[in-house]
Amino acid sequence: MEKTGGGTAAQRALWLERMRAIFPDVKEGSKITGVFLPGGAVRFHLDAAALGTIAEPGFAQAFAGIWLGPRSTAPRLREALLRGAERR
């Protein structure tokens, strides 16, 4: 999130603490899904099991910005994701 300009240093430290509290070690074949909720929260799931929700101001936008923001460090992935959204 720092590389994409998401949040302040203090916010990122808080967000990292929240993510570490709910994200497990992911094994090959597992999938973590983030569901964006009204009001800016994100609920995370590992496969079908709920992990937890992060409802910190600015987190949802900064988290999505990793892949979807104009400063994404994965521009080809960003373009592919945005093209996929246009088809819907």
Give 18-50 pLDDT, tens digit per residue.
999 999 988 899 999 999 999 889 999 999 899
Give 49-74 pLDDT, tens digit per residue.
999 999 998 999 999 999 999 999 99
Q: What is the pTM of this model?
A: 0.79
In what side-by-side order are the strands of the sheet with 42-46?
Answer: 32-36, 42-46, 49-54
Q: Please name the helix (run of DSSP H) or strand (run of DSSP E) that holds residue 51, with its range, or none.
A: strand 49-54
Q: How far is CA 71 from CA 11, 14, 27, in A?
A: 18, 22, 28
Kindly give, in sequence order, each residue whose CB lies less than 8 Å from that of residue 21, ignoring residues fewer than 6 positions away: 52
